Structure 1
Amino acid sequence: MNQRTEGAAPEAADSRTVQLPNPAPPSRLAVLGLLLGIILATLDSTIVGTALPTIVGDLGGLDHFSWVVTAYLLTTAVSTPIWGKLGDLYGRKGSYQASITVFLVGSVLCGLAQDMGQLIAFRALQGLGAGGLFVGALSLIGTLLPPAQAGRSQSMIGVLLPFAMIGGPLLGGFLTDQLNWRWVFYVNVPVGAVALLIVGLCIRLRGARSTARIDYAGAALLTAGILALTLIGSWGGAAYDWISPQIAGLTALSVAALGWFVRVERRAHEPIIPPRLFRDRNFTLAQVLSFLVGAAMLAAASYLPQYMQFVGGASSTESGLLLLPLMLGMMGAQLVIGRAVGNGGGYRAYPIAGGAVATAGALALLGAGADTPTAVASALTLILGVGLGCLMQSSMLITLNSAALRDMGAASGTTTLLRTIGGSLGVAVLGSVYTSRMTATLTDRLGGDGERLAGGHEVTPSVLRGLSEPVREALRAGVTGGLHGVMIGTAALCVIAFAAAWLIREVPLRTAPGAAD
């Protein structure tokens, strides 16, 4: 049998890993093992937040508080495409298991941390492993299942993600209150151990050992560019002004590193992100959609709770539950699309409809005012959730259908990376809009006191109840105005996604694993 690497240049065939899909579809237990990795990655990004105040009180280091989150996001973003490429070259199953192992080691060390410096370092190690969890699961699904069948598995991912996003803060609060904040990290161990066991026993891939070398120059440049981008998203408008020399320097570094990265990738024998992937118009458009939906989704999930708490008077836990319509809309849309595509339906209409519905949902939330009942505002988020769910599911389906088997890891890593970067930059840029509009409203109503109130960090929903009625009303109006600014920005992102979706071609989904040349 001629084991040819699909889509590879003839001279490169001997240096590639030739991974053949299983002759039979994987069992449900095997798919569960892959989904557990995604649960781990999603839970850990949300479960730590509710424990952070307790962690800081125990370990100290309040001035380094933000780096507990930033260090994790930095290493996760940087390592995502690298894990994908390692899987393409040396085996996706082994790469996935290695990422779980690194993640679990980092989790245990985080639980054992004795000061803030140790915790930040161990969170960075944990992030290195987390970068391979999502991309490893997606690339294995793309290897083992054709896109027509993978749609149903991805719809399950769409169900798990919202539950993990909502359940993470609730579980984090429970573990911190009932046990100890260290269990926020230790809880990863049994889940990860089960995932390792299932993947090791139930997934079989046949492949030849690769002799290709990792693109170290590309990895270094991509790391520098993503580090700079993530720091811009974290520091811009918060630690430094957007027009400050620090942000300008990071912007210049990011542009230079990523520009040089593109040049290096065109010449590399085994690039981290193969430029050939972007020769497919559908693949390129799917990455645009991934970036935009990441920005819109994370911005909505970050600033809607502010409105629910400060304007609606909800607690932290209640504000999470009030986002259930948003999450259920995303879940329902992805389940419907996965089933429809799995039954032989087309997919081009879904991103178009998703862009239109998401735009309508964002604009509908402009109707949420300071006097709007909380239940009504919560229900309005359903429309936005349905639109975002359509965009998320279709972009991943198109990605897997457009990539050759040899590039499945790199393709999955690219779409995950762009969604992560989109989310980081979306929160940063729209957060600046939120802050500026809120500050303008408070200053207009309260003068200098309003400006100081907007710039302070001591105002919480509980403190709000002790303020005078004029100050409370001004703050509610400011938060509402800030949310409206975020929703206008979200609507603009969704309009761009809607326009890009019209350019997608209806290419039939493959009915067998792998890709044609």
Structure 2
Amino acid sequence: MVATGDRLRLVVTTTAGSRPTRASVGLRSERGPVLLAVMLSVALVAVDATILATAVPAVVDDLGGFTQFPWLFSVYLLAQAVSTPLYAKLSDQFGRKPMAMVGIGLFVLGSLLCTVAWGMVPLIVFRAVQGLGAGAIQPVGMTILGDLYSAAERAVVQGYVAAVWALSSVVGPTLGGIFADYLSWRWIFAINLPLGLVAAVVLLRNFDEKVARTRQKVDVLGSALLAVGGVALLLALLEGGVHWAWSSPTSLGLLALAVLALVAFALVERRAAAPVLPTWVFTHRVVLAGVLGGAVVGVLMLGLTTYVPLYAQGVLGQGALVSGLALAAMLLGWPIAASNAGRLYLRFGYRATMLTGAVIATVGGSLLLLVGPSSPLLMLALPCFVLGLGFGLVISPSIVAAQTSVAWQQRGVATGTLVFSRSLGSVLGTAAFGALANAVVTSRLGGAAPSLEAVGADVLHPAVRTVFVASSVVVLLLFAAGLVMPRHAAQEQAQEQAQEPVPEPAPEPGT
């Protein structure tokens, strides 16, 4: 790796005209150790997003604070989401490696503190520290892979990362239950220490970058306003209708604060010398297509993750483990599609590939409508698998296209914006689908709704079916994301960069 001007350049030799193979881009290649470190760090983030779910009773028995335990999940998501754009921008200014090390360091520190937490409030605070680390790990890791691999190779690499994420999402709850039942819930966090240290050491030793040391301006005011506005908005969406009514002063106050802070943020960013979230990401069509696609997939992912297992258990009468298999079908379809997306976008372009994914995902959403109380579990797993295929063909090309269409100095921001949009979509999906399901339960019972888990199948079926119907409508928005993607330019860039891991600096993004 050498520096060209103020830009990092990776020197990796490829054979002209050769098609990338899994061996050439996999863990046994010369870039393999870095890929391994990124996969390991991403696995830590993915596992910790779900591993606590099955260990909550053990945590509450030990520390108390039953009414506070939902914050263990909310604060992690909040910290991760609002810090992502800042880390992404800093990785463009100071390099990927320092930000990756900061992220892993904060995550390991948060995990260490969680293992010694003496109460629910300290544990919540330490989960926030973990979230701040996770906010760097995912976008910076994906940006590193964008630096290391060509447009053609990134499809295979995206398949690896998607498979890690899918496997971690399934393994997480299982590990949490095992640790809580046979060891201690503190092992949930202790296991992160050696794994995080291994990821840090491998990255430190194998990822070399030379970035010109120039005086860099940090957008402190913009970062602060984004953090305040983001926390207020996400908090209102996560807890509204759960801990307080949507029309309560708390909800209205948080939404007002979010609007004021984000409006001020937009005004500040227009004048900032080095904005943390520059306005060009919302006018750059390639990046905007990825933002829209990521947001829609985020909405659908959280909705399905929440309500598919609930339907399988509460309506179809399946056990918890078997119910998880229905959701695992979606997590299986995603990496299959992601790892093969390169063949499509190199031949037909990013736009055609994203639209193909939208068609497949729409078919999956339609199949959800055929699921009924007497359906076998396979009828629930099939649409999940098809939706996963569609998601993989939307997300993987959009990430590669965004990274390909900008210069090195903007790649971190572009990648981080896509990650942030998916996180925001997940929060929106949780709030919107939860409100829909609760409204159906309330109308059926003629009063205040108990938790969805407490109602019978005769009420749960129409409540979750409403979510399925909404999902089949929301999935149509993926076509909008595909149509925003430019028709020809991205395909030409992909073909040109199939032979070159790092593109030459692009003109200042604007269109």
Match of 2:450 among 439, 452, 455: 455
Q: Does the residue aligned with 1:389 lie in a helix, a strand or coil?
A: helix
Q: Percent identity, please.
A: 33
Secondary structure of 2:234 counterpart: helix
Map of 1:482 onto structure 2: 463
Residue 27 of structure 2 corresponds to none
- The alpha carbon displacement at 1:23 in A equals 4.2
Match of 2:402 among 399, 404, 425: 399
Q: 1:344 to 1:299 in 2, by over 3 A?
A: same
- Which range moved further: 155-164 or 275-284? 275-284
Query: Which one is further off, 500-509 or 179-188?
Result: 500-509
Q: Is the CA contact 1:280–1:402 (under 8 Å) kept in the aligned structure 2? A: no
- Which residue of the other structure, out of 47, 57, 60, is the alignment partner of 1:43? 47
Tell me the TM-score normalized by structure 1. 0.89
Dislocated runs of 4+, deviation >3 Å: 2-5, 22-26, 338-341
Q: Which amino acid aligns with 1:381?
A: C
User: Quick check: 1:21 aligned with 2:21?
Assistant: no
Match for 1:378: what amino acid?
Answer: A
- For residues 152 and 305 of structure 2, what CA distance do their matches in structure 1 show? 30
For residues 20-419 of structure 1, the aligned pairs below 5 Å read 20-24=9-13, 27-341=31-345, 346-419=349-422
Deviations 1:358-409 (A, max 9, x none): 1221222122122222232222322222212222212212221222210111
- State the partner residue of 1:516: 506
**Following the alignment from structure 1 to structure 2, what is the Cα–Cα distance between the partners of residues 178 and 41?**
23
Aligned partner of residue 476 in structure 2, secondary structure: helix
* Equivalent residue letter for 1:169: P
- Quick check: 1:152–1:339 contact (8 Å CA) kept in 2? no
Unaligned stretches of 5+ residues in structure 1 = 6-16, 461-473
Task: Report which stretch shifted further, 118-127 or 151-160.
Answer: 151-160
Q: Is the 8 A contact 2:31 2:148 kept in 1?
A: no
Count of equivalent residues: 482
Say yes or no: does 1:492 pair with 2:473.
yes
Measure, in 2, the Cα distance between the counterparts of 1:272 and 1:287. 16
Contact 1:307 1:483 survives alignment (8 Å): yes
Give the drift of 1:43.
Answer: 0.8
Contact 1:370 1:477 in 2 (8 A): no
Q: Partner amino acid for 1:222?
A: L
CA contact (8 A) 2:308 2:326 kept: no
CA distance in 2, matches of 1:339, 1:197: 34
Q: Which residue of 1 aligns with 2:20?
A: none
Structure 1: distance between partners of 2:147 and 2:226: 25
CA distance in 1, matches of 2:76, 2:188: 15
Q: 1:35 to 1:210 in 2, by over 3 A?
A: farther
Give 3-state SS (helix, strand or coil) of 1:403's partner.
coil
Which residue identity does 1:455 align to in structure 2? P
Q: Secondary structure at the match of 2:276?
A: coil
Larger mean Cα displacement after TM superposition, 97-106 or 325-334: 325-334
Give the secondary structure class of the aligned counterpart of 2:218: coil
- Mapped contact 1:148–1:344 kept (Cα < 8 A): no
Matches of 1:59 and 1:88, distance apart in 2: 41
2:423 aligned residue (420, 432, 437): 420
Task: Output the CA distance in 2 between the equivalents of 1:144 and 1:265.
Answer: 30
Q: Judge conservation of contact 2:104–2:137 (CA < 8 Å) in 1.
A: yes
Contact 2:64 2:119 in 1 (8 A): yes
- In structure 1, C-alpha distance between the alignment counterparts of 2:403 and 2:151, rounded to whole Å: 6
| Alpha-carbon separation, structure 2, partners of 1:24 and 1:41 | 32
Distance 2:280 2:326 in 1: 43
Distance 1:420 1:456 in 2: 25
SS in 2 for 1:323: helix
| Mean CA deviation greater in 145-154 or 37-46 | 145-154
Q: 1:54 to 1:386 in 2, by over 3 A?
A: same
Contact between 1:215 and 1:271, CA under 8 Å: does it hold in 2?
yes
Is this contact kept in 1: 2:311–2:461, CA < 8 A?
yes
Q: Alpha-carbon deviation of 1:155?
A: 1.6
How far did residue 417 of structure 1 move? 0.8
Corresponding letter in the other structure for 1:516: A
**3-state secondary structure, aligned to 2:484:** coil
TM-score, normalized by length of structure 2? 0.90
Give distance in 2, aligned partners of 1:65 and 1:114.
Answer: 14
Q: Distance in 2 between matches of 1:393 and 1:382?
A: 17
Once the two structures are TM-superposed, the CA of residue 143 in structure 1 deviates from its matched residue by 1.7
SS, match of residue 130 in structure 1: helix
Q: Which runs of 5+ in 2 are unaligned?
A: 15-29
Cα displacement (A) at 1:302: 1.1
CA contact (8 A) 1:159 1:335 kept: no
